Amino acid sequence: MALYSEKVMDHFMHPRNVGVIDDASGVGEVGNAKCGDIMKIYLKIENDIIEDVKFETFGCGSAIASSSMATEMIMGKSIHEAMELTNKAVAEALDGLPAHKMHCSVLAEEAIKNALKDYFDKNNIPYDADKFQELDHDELHNAVHGE
Ligand code: FES
Protein backbone atom coordinates (compact mmCIF):
# COMPACT_ATOMS: atom_id res chain seq x y z
CA MET A 1 0.00 0.00 0.00
CA ALA A 2 1.25 3.47 -0.81
CA LEU A 3 2.45 5.41 2.21
CA TYR A 4 0.31 8.43 1.30
CA SER A 5 -3.28 8.44 0.08
CA GLU A 6 -4.20 9.96 -3.27
CA LYS A 7 -5.88 12.81 -1.42
CA VAL A 8 -2.71 13.62 0.52
CA MET A 9 -0.71 13.61 -2.71
CA ASP A 10 -3.32 15.76 -4.46
CA HIS A 11 -3.41 18.40 -1.69
CA PHE A 12 0.37 18.34 -1.46
CA MET A 13 0.90 18.76 -5.20
CA HIS A 14 -2.02 21.19 -5.68
CA PRO A 15 -2.58 22.90 -2.35
CA ARG A 16 -5.78 24.96 -2.07
CA ASN A 17 -5.93 28.44 -0.52
CA VAL A 18 -2.21 29.16 -0.41
CA GLY A 19 -1.38 32.79 0.27
CA VAL A 20 -1.89 35.75 2.53
CA ILE A 21 -4.93 37.86 3.47
CA ASP A 22 -3.66 41.41 3.94
CA ASP A 23 -6.58 42.65 6.04
CA ALA A 24 -7.12 39.37 7.89
CA SER A 25 -9.50 39.35 10.86
CA GLY A 26 -7.25 36.86 12.61
CA VAL A 27 -3.83 35.34 12.04
CA GLY A 28 -2.44 32.23 13.70
CA GLU A 29 1.09 30.93 13.52
CA VAL A 30 2.37 27.72 15.03
CA GLY A 31 5.54 25.73 14.80
CA ASN A 32 6.66 22.27 15.70
CA ALA A 33 9.87 22.53 17.70
CA LYS A 34 10.92 19.01 16.79
CA CYS A 35 10.85 19.22 13.01
CA GLY A 36 11.07 23.01 12.71
CA ASP A 37 8.02 23.25 10.45
CA ILE A 38 5.91 26.41 10.59
CA MET A 39 2.30 27.06 9.57
CA LYS A 40 0.46 30.36 9.33
CA ILE A 41 -3.31 30.71 8.83
CA TYR A 42 -5.15 33.88 7.83
CA LEU A 43 -8.90 34.23 8.41
CA LYS A 44 -11.33 36.77 7.01
CA ILE A 45 -14.41 36.71 9.24
CA GLU A 46 -17.70 38.51 8.66
CA ASN A 47 -20.82 38.01 10.77
CA ASP A 48 -19.24 35.00 12.48
CA ILE A 49 -18.66 33.31 9.11
CA ILE A 50 -15.27 32.46 7.68
CA GLU A 51 -15.51 34.27 4.37
CA ASP A 52 -11.94 33.52 3.34
CA VAL A 53 -8.98 31.55 4.60
CA LYS A 54 -5.42 31.29 3.34
CA PHE A 55 -2.30 29.58 4.56
CA GLU A 56 1.44 29.61 4.29
CA THR A 57 3.23 26.46 5.39
CA PHE A 58 6.94 25.97 5.55
CA GLY A 59 6.92 22.30 6.20
CA CYS A 60 6.63 18.72 5.10
CA GLY A 61 4.19 17.36 2.54
CA SER A 62 1.78 16.13 5.21
CA ALA A 63 1.73 19.56 6.82
CA ILE A 64 1.00 21.20 3.47
CA ALA A 65 -1.73 18.68 2.64
CA SER A 66 -3.21 19.12 6.14
CA SER A 67 -3.27 22.91 5.84
CA SER A 68 -4.85 22.72 2.42
CA MET A 69 -7.56 20.29 3.55
CA ALA A 70 -8.18 22.17 6.80
CA THR A 71 -8.73 25.47 4.96
CA GLU A 72 -11.24 23.76 2.67
CA MET A 73 -13.04 22.31 5.66
CA ILE A 74 -13.59 25.66 7.41
CA MET A 75 -14.21 27.87 4.36
CA GLY A 76 -17.74 29.32 4.59
CA LYS A 77 -18.30 27.75 8.02
CA SER A 78 -19.15 29.55 11.24
CA ILE A 79 -16.39 30.35 13.71
CA HIS A 80 -18.03 27.88 16.11
CA GLU A 81 -17.76 25.07 13.58
CA ALA A 82 -14.15 26.03 12.87
CA MET A 83 -13.40 25.82 16.60
CA GLU A 84 -14.53 22.20 16.56
CA LEU A 85 -12.20 21.14 13.76
CA THR A 86 -9.81 18.49 15.03
CA ASN A 87 -6.57 17.24 13.54
CA LYS A 88 -8.17 13.80 13.48
CA ALA A 89 -10.99 15.07 11.24
CA VAL A 90 -8.42 16.65 8.91
CA ALA A 91 -6.44 13.40 8.72
CA GLU A 92 -9.62 11.43 8.07
CA ALA A 93 -10.65 13.81 5.29
CA LEU A 94 -7.26 13.12 3.71
CA ASP A 95 -8.04 9.38 3.86
CA GLY A 96 -5.50 9.02 6.62
CA LEU A 97 -1.91 9.93 7.37
CA PRO A 98 0.87 7.55 8.38
CA ALA A 99 1.03 7.28 12.19
CA HIS A 100 4.36 9.08 12.39
CA LYS A 101 2.88 11.97 10.37
CA MET A 102 -0.23 12.56 12.48
CA HIS A 103 1.54 15.34 14.35
CA CYS A 104 1.70 17.32 11.10
CA SER A 105 -2.10 17.57 11.07
CA VAL A 106 -1.97 18.94 14.63
CA LEU A 107 -0.29 22.05 13.25
CA ALA A 108 -3.39 22.75 11.12
CA GLU A 109 -5.77 22.48 14.06
CA GLU A 110 -3.54 24.65 16.23
CA ALA A 111 -2.95 27.30 13.57
CA ILE A 112 -6.69 27.67 12.97
CA LYS A 113 -7.38 27.87 16.71
CA ASN A 114 -4.65 30.48 17.13
CA ALA A 115 -6.09 32.54 14.28
CA LEU A 116 -9.55 32.37 15.89
CA LYS A 117 -8.06 33.35 19.25
CA ASP A 118 -6.38 36.31 17.57
CA TYR A 119 -9.76 37.34 16.15
CA PHE A 120 -11.48 36.97 19.54
CA ASP A 121 -8.72 38.94 21.27
CA LYS A 122 -8.79 41.77 18.71
CA ASN A 123 -12.56 42.11 19.00
CA ASN A 124 -12.83 41.62 22.76
CA ILE A 125 -14.97 38.55 22.27
CA PRO A 126 -14.98 36.38 25.39
CA TYR A 127 -13.99 32.75 24.96
CA ASP A 128 -13.30 29.62 26.91
CA ALA A 129 -9.51 29.61 27.43
CA ASP A 130 -9.55 25.84 27.97
CA LYS A 131 -10.33 25.39 24.30
CA PHE A 132 -7.00 26.95 23.40
CA GLN A 133 -4.68 24.90 25.50
CA GLU A 134 -1.79 23.87 23.32
CA LEU A 135 -1.89 20.29 22.25
CA ASP A 136 1.07 18.51 23.70
CA HIS A 137 3.31 17.40 20.86
CA ASP A 138 5.34 15.08 23.07
CA GLU A 139 2.24 13.38 24.36
CA LEU A 140 0.98 12.93 20.84
CA HIS A 141 4.32 11.63 19.68
CA ASN A 142 4.38 9.12 22.51
CA ALA A 143 0.79 8.07 21.86
CA VAL A 144 1.62 7.41 18.21
CA HIS A 145 4.89 5.65 18.84
CA GLY A 146 3.86 3.91 22.02
CA GLU A 147 6.72 5.26 24.10
FE1 FES B 1 7.02 18.66 10.65
FE2 FES B 1 5.36 17.23 9.25
S3 FES B 1 7.36 16.72 9.79
S4 FES B 1 4.95 19.07 10.31
Count structural domains, the chain.
1
pLDDT at 145 over 80: no
Asked, for residue 144, whether it belongs to a domain, the answer is no
- Asked if the structure places residue 146 within a domain, the reply is no
Is residue 143 a part of any domain in this protein? no
CATH of the domain at 111: 3.90.1010.10
Which of the four pLDDT bands, split at 50, 70 and 90, describes residue 48? very high
Ligand 1 nearest-atom number relative to CA 37: 1
Query: For residue 143, what pLDDT band results from cuts at 50, 70 and 90?
Result: very low
Residue 120 has pLDDT above 60, yes or no: yes
SS3 of the chain: CCCCCHHHHHHHHCCCCECCCCCCCEEEEEECCCCCCEEEEEEEEECCEEEEEEEEEECCHHHHHHHHHHHHHHCCCEHHHHHCCCHHHHHHHCCCCCHHHHHHHHHHHHHHHHHHHHHHHHCCCCCCHHHHCCCCHHHHHHHHHCC
Q: Quick check: is 1 in a domain?
A: no
| Residue 90 domain-assigned (yes or no) | yes
Q: How high is the pLDDT of residue 1?
A: 56
Please report whether residue 80 resides in a domain.
yes
Mean pLDDT, rounded, for 121-135: 83
Ligand 1 pocket check: which of 55, 67, 103, 106 to mutate, most ligand atoms within 8 Å of Cβ? 103
Residue 41: partners with Cβ closer than 8 Å, 6 or more residues away? 27, 28, 29, 53, 54, 55, 67, 70, 71, 108, 111, 112, 114, 115
- Ligand 1 site, residue 37, Cβ cutoff 6 A: yes
Residue span of the structural domain in which 36 resides: 6-138
